[in-house]
Amino acid sequence: MLACLPFGQAMAQDAWPTRPIRIVVVFPPGGSSDIVARVLAEAIAPRLNARVVVDNRPGAGGTVAALHVAQQPADGYTLMLSNTAPIITSPPIYRTHGYDPMRGFTHIAYIGATPMVVVTNPSVPARDMPTLMDWMRAQRGPVYGSSGVGSVGHILGSMFASRTGIALTHAPYRGSQPMQADLLGGAIMLSFDPLPDNVESIRAGRLRAFAISSEARNAMVPTVPTMTEIGLPGLLAENFLGLSGPANLPPAITARLHAEVAWALTQPVLLERLAQNGITPGVKSQAEFVAFLQGQVDTMGAAVAAMNLSVN
């Protein structure tokens, strides 16, 4: 009970925060995660009456930053803009990462997610997913491009092949841009890739979209169906964003931070930045966020493990 807490500990929790708070971002400056972290920090800082700074620590699929955060004191002063890489996809690949993606953190609040999209060069003779799947079978192992080994696009392609029984050949690129150049030029005909990176080409007719890997349709491409709608329920693969901290974060601090993120998600400046980066915001309780992550670990994380990818 609170009355049984040491006096100093109770006072320390009541006084939080008394110094700057860090939000660690697992990617370099300039990307969507960094942008969202900085807008979120700016929004909640006045409400917390504290400086909130962003600390970029890229490397090893996000595991460098995640391990750093997991090793910090559970005092509310070091947080992480968590996402799919360090929590879901990188742990089975970087096997000496050194932390438990669920028990090693207090997962505080869900922010939103970006779906993958199945796209082709428009010369592919298909107009919907059934005819695209017929084309895939006829090609006997067509090449699909992704932004790299272990990327969400790579994993979704592997899950799609396993689920449908259609053989596919993976072609990893160093990022979406070089892959898209080959897709637009006809060197490859098929890709599983983040929706925002492809939406302009889809709208211009330079690429053809067949399905997105989220639970609901996306406002950026409202006519493109979900995997569930095309008969592949449960085939979900998104890049999520959330706020997490070290394990055993005090419940009062966790609740306060969850409330501040929920408030920030009602503010036009953050919603605009999310929309600009193709991130669909969502409202989840902390328990729902934890359950969502566990489901992702059990499905997408297990799919990565089954691919037997390893870099150490």
Span 41-64, pLDDT tens digits: 999 999 999 999 999 999 888 999
Which CATH architecture describes the domain 115-212?
3-Layer(aba) Sandwich (3.40)
Cα(254)–Cα(269) distance, integer angstroms: 24
pLDDT at 187 (0 to 100): 97
Segments of the chain with pLDDT less than 70: 1-14, 312
Residue 91: C-alpha distances to residues 25, 103, 301 (Å): 17, 13, 8
Query: Would you list the domain boundaries of the chain?
Result: 18-113+237-307, 115-212
pLDDT at position 1, please?
A: 37
pLDDT at 11: 39
Estimate the crossing angle of helix 32-48 against helix 268-276, to 10 degrees.
170
> Which CATH homologous superfamily contains domain 18-113+237-307?
Bordetella uptake gene, domain 1 (3.40.190.150)
Nearest one of 221, 214, 273, 276 to 239, comparing CA atoms? 214
Q: Which of 92, 17, 107, 39 is nearest to 62 (CA)?
A: 92
What pLDDT, on the 0 to 100 scale, is given for residue 14? 62
Q: Fold identical between 18-113+237-307 and 115-212?
A: yes
Residue 219 pLDDT: 86
pTM for the full predicted model: 0.83
What's the rounded Cα separation, in Å, for the pair 173 and 81?
A: 25
